Amino acid sequence: MTFSILANYFEKLEETSSRLILIEILSDLFKKADKDEIDKITYLTQGRVGPFYEPLEIGMADKNVAAALAVAFDSTKEDVLKLYNKLGDMGLVAQELRLKIKNQKSKIEKQELSVIAVFDALRKIAETGGEGSVEKKITALKELLEHMDAVSAKHFVRIPLGNTRLGIGDPTVLDGLATAILGDKTKRKLLEKAYNETSDLGLIAKTLRSGGLEAVQKLTITVGRPIRSELCERLPNPTKVFEKMSHSTDSASSLQASSGQASQGIHATPKYDGFRVQIHKNGDKVEMFSRNLEDMTHMFPEIIEGTLRQVKAKTAILDSEALAYQTESEEFLPFQETTKRRRKHNIPEMAKSLPLRAFVFDILYVDGKSLIDEPLTTRMKMIEKYIAKDDTLIPAPGRILKTPQELQLMLDDSISKGLEGVVVKRIDSKYEAGGRNFNWVKLKRHSAGELNDTVDCVILGYLYGKGKRTDFGAGSLLVGLYDETADEFVTVSKIGTGLTDEEWREIHKRADKIKVDHKPARVNSLMEPSVWIRPEIVIEVLADEITRSPLHTAGSAKQNSEGLKEPGYALRFPRLVTFRDKDKKAEDATTVKELVEMFQQQGKK
């Protein structure tokens, strides 16, 4: 496939906000892709040159892409940047400059670039480092641009800037693959287990194209490839936890009431407010990944040393929570302090001044054997067996509790120590990669007059300010949640409080880098903000309660010929607590399902 054909598919994807149409376009694209290029097409659709966990960023700044455009299209860097300031999108700049060039068509016809050639060139750019690397990257980009038409140039330059503007989520890509190769998007479920255990959409696509569904289902856990994290549901109090874990009807649950679990109790560990870190050990090599699949290995040298020193296995995969630790006061620090360790520079100095401790609460693989299908009780014994006690990796196998009163005491004790709360698990549950169900439940501190928990929202757009806020450019934020069933973002509130003047300016600055001129793909909204932005910025929000509202689309709000069938869900008196997009993707925001459960926990009908 030529890159120009792929670019035309990107053009169609960018122009639609309908998820069903996105799936149709992707399906048609994947049908035309052969086995040697389908993985590369999948990565490029994500704006990548490899899976998300590979620490391979093209990482070119606006000014460097502008320099490449200037040389390729007979302009100057200054004029390119001036046009960029006007249009706000380097892709549109590339398209406009290309259209102005005369006598370029014959050159394009003589050397049309294939998808594989463009992918390989971009990957080489990403791998280029050292002295003179900026100039080499600019030259390589320029040489590719010289052989592209206007639409190809538009979508091509967005890739090294990490801004494809396609708005496609992983479930939508899986739907497209299932439709194209298995003939039915409902068969996506057959692909999800392999994706959750490999975290590599390109691998899924190539394996499916080459070997069919049977080959995909043989894919399994490998050290060095992160497993998608299992996540928690919410319940309001210890009594509800015991009721739910004894009498759950959740189809995803590995146990039913008939198993007799009620007499066995529940498993509980303190809930630490830090980074979710998945640790992979392979001999003398240690890699670490965030819950967003980001490679964090270079950030935490002390955890590498601790893993090599403490893990008594040749190969292992551990699930842990890493927190900043203050040696002088012997206390764990708040999340805001821990976030200071996410950095690219001065890492050794920060490791000394703000050391991390990793609480290992699960073990998923050891010495060539996957443990995810083993019951939790077995995995907890394996933690004690394979992790030597020391001061960096701290085994956290938890405790078995038999009554709600015991759980309440543990919750109170955790909160008194400055921790977030408690995580409760079914004692015989498997590790469900990428799953979120009532096998795992979180209990957090409660504030009178407020929700039992905060809500992680995604900023979808902003409305212009009035009065003093005209200085900030944004007066209120339109925020939403993730609907994992529909793979779309739905609105839940407008927020105008909780930000300082400086934060208003900062959010306006950040939002304008990802603003779009139409409602983004996968956004379901009845409201129209002054400015739409791509759903990328995650914020933590506290509200008094959850209410029903015909203005918002979270939940069952749908439009039909007679108006709204039912009102959606909304947050009452919401205010911003903090930004969370450094450790959470938009798809990691609170889901509609979670919000509905929180609403029911309020005792409302």
Check which CATH number belongs to the domain holding 484 and give it: 2.40.50.140
Domain boundary among 415, 444, 473: 444
pLDDT of residue 565: 58
User: What pLDDT does 84 receive?
Assistant: 93
Among 206-220, 236-250, 254-268, the least confident range: 254-268
Residue 501 included in any domain = yes
Rounded mean pLDDT of the chain?
Answer: 87
The answer to whether position 399 is within a domain reads: yes
Quick one: pLDDT at residue 452? Answer: 64
Asked whether residue 518 falls in the same domain as residue 434, the answer is no
Query: Is the same domain home to 244 and 393?
Result: yes
Position 273 scores a pLDDT of 83
- The whole-number pLDDT of residue 445 equals 67
Residue 18 belongs to some domain of the structure: no
Catalytic residues: 271
Quote the domain boundaries for residue 475: 455-601
Confidence of residue 468 (pLDDT cuts 50, 70, 90): low
Percent above pLDDT 90 for the chain: 58
Q: Is residue 533 one of the residues assigned to a domain?
A: yes
Q: 546 phi and psi, to 5 degrees?
A: -105, 135
**Is pLDDT at 604 greater than 60 in this prediction?**
no
Whether the per-residue pLDDT at 326 is higher than 80: the answer is: no
Please indicate, yes or no, whether residues 481 and 436 belong to a single structural domain of this protein. no
Give the confidence band of 578 by pLDDT, cuts at 50, 70, 90: confident
Measured CA to CA, the distance from residue 520 to residue 512 in angstroms comes to 14
Claim to verify: residue 426 and residue 478 sit in the same structural domain: no
| pLDDT at residue 249 tops 50 | no
- State residue 272's pLDDT score: 86
Is 90 exceeded by the pLDDT of residue 397?
no
How does residue 236 score in pLDDT terms, banded at 50, 70 and 90? confident
**Within a 10 A sphere around the Cβ of 439, how many other Cβ atoms?**
25
Q: Say how far residue 602 (Cα) sits from the centre of its chain.
A: 29
Q: Which amino acid is at 363?
A: I
pLDDT over 80 (residue 72): yes
| Count of domains forming the chain | 2
- The CATH number given to whatever domain includes residue 243 is 3.30.470.30
pLDDT in tens, 488-541: 999 999 988 767 777 787 888 888 888 888 899 899 999 999 899 999 999 999
pLDDT of residue 211: 95
Same domain? For 360 and 259 the reply is: yes
How far, in Å, CA of 450 to CA of 452, rounded?
A: 6
Residue 394 located in a structural domain? yes
Q: SS3 of 101, please? A: coil
Mean pLDDT of 355-384: 95
Q: Is the pLDDT of residue 330 over 90?
A: no
Amino acid letter for position 9: Y
Same structural domain, 423 and 303: yes
Q: Are residues 418 and 285 in the same domain?
A: yes
**Is residue 104 scored above 60 in pLDDT?**
no
Question: Helices marked H in 101-200 — which ranges?
Answer: 105-110, 115-127, 133-145, 150-158, 170-177, 189-198
Q: Which of 444, 479, 510 is the last residue of a domain?
A: 444
Per the model's pLDDT, the better-predicted residue between 577 and 334 turns out to be 577
**How far is the C-alpha of 604 from the C-alpha of 567, rounded, in Å?**
14
- Whether 596 and 461 map to the same domain: the answer is yes
Better-predicted residue by pLDDT, 247 or 454: 454
Q: Cα–Cα distance between 289 and 322 in angstroms, integer? A: 12
Q: Does residue 605 register a pLDDT over 90?
A: no
Residue 485 has pLDDT above 90, yes or no: no
Tally of CA atoms within 13 A in the half-sphere of 582 that contains its CB: 13
The yes-or-no verdict on residue 545 having pLDDT over 60 is yes
Return the residue matching tokens 């048609």: 28
Measured at the CA of 93, the angle between CA 89 and CA 96, to 5 degrees, comes to 140
Q: Which of 158-172, 379-393, 473-487, 548-562 has the lowest mean pLDDT?
A: 548-562
Domain termination residue (choose one: 389, 414, 444): 444
Question: How would residue 261 be classed by pLDDT, with cut points 50, 70 and 90?
Answer: very low
Is residue 523 in a domain?
yes
pLDDT of residue 257: 38
Residue 571 has pLDDT above 70, yes or no: yes
Residue 45 belongs to some domain of the structure: no
Residue 296 domain flag? yes
Render 19-53 in DSSP notation, one character per residue: HHHHHHHHHHHHHH--TTTHHHHHHHHTT-SS-TT
Spatial separation of the C-alpha atoms in residues 100 and 38, rounded to whole Å: 33
Q: Is the pLDDT of residue 107 over 60?
A: no
Winning range, highest mean pLDDT, from 260-274, 296-310, 512-526:
296-310
| pLDDT band, very low/low/confident/very high, at 12 (cuts 50, 70, 90) | very high
Would you say residue 161 has pLDDT above 50?
Answer: yes
pLDDT band at 248 (very low <50, low <70, confident <90, very high): very low
pTM above 0.85, yes or no: no
* pLDDT value of residue 329: 60
pLDDT at 50: 93
